[in-house]
């Protein structure tokens, strides 16, 4: 692997829609760029943590195995 970035899938009706063809999916964050590493080309092992204030906290690692993190306060859109 020479390059990677993280993205997430979100569905607003996955738990309520019985017909799989009607499930809606969106890729987050918005735009053409996912979670990237501030150190090198590899950003792997992302995990989403929901915080009590409604924010999302995402820890992950770089290609040099340093831990990094990001916060989103708009439901993962940015």
Indicate if the pLDDT at residue 10 is higher than 90. Answer: yes
Residue 63: how many other CB atoms lie within 10 Å? 16
Mean pLDDT, the chain, integer: 92
Within a domain: residue 19?
Answer: no
Within a domain: residue 77?
Answer: no
pTM: 0.76
d(C-alpha 40, C-alpha 48), whole Å: 22
Within a domain: residue 44?
Answer: yes
Within a domain: residue 54?
Answer: yes
Residue in the block written with tokens 């569905």: 11
Angle at 70 between CA 30 and CA 1, to 5 degrees: 75
Within a domain: residue 60?
Answer: yes
Q: Based on the structure, what is the number of domains in the chain?
A: 1
- Give the gyration radius of the chain's Cα atoms: 14
pLDDT in tens, 43-67: 899 999 999 999 999 999 988 888 9
Within a domain: residue 62?
Answer: yes
φ and ψ at 68, to 5 degrees?
A: -135, 170
pLDDT for the residue 3 = 84
């Amino acid at each position: 692997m020479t390059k990677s970035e993280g993205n997430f899938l979100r569905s607003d009706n996955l738990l309520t829609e019985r017909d799989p063809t009607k499930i809606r999916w969106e890729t987050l964050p918005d735009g053409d760029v996912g979670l990237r590493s501030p150190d090198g080309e590899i950003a792997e092992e992302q995990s989403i943590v929901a915080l009590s204030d409604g924010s999302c906290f995402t820890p992950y690692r770089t290609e040099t195995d340093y831990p990094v993190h990001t916060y989103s306060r708009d439901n993962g859109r940015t």
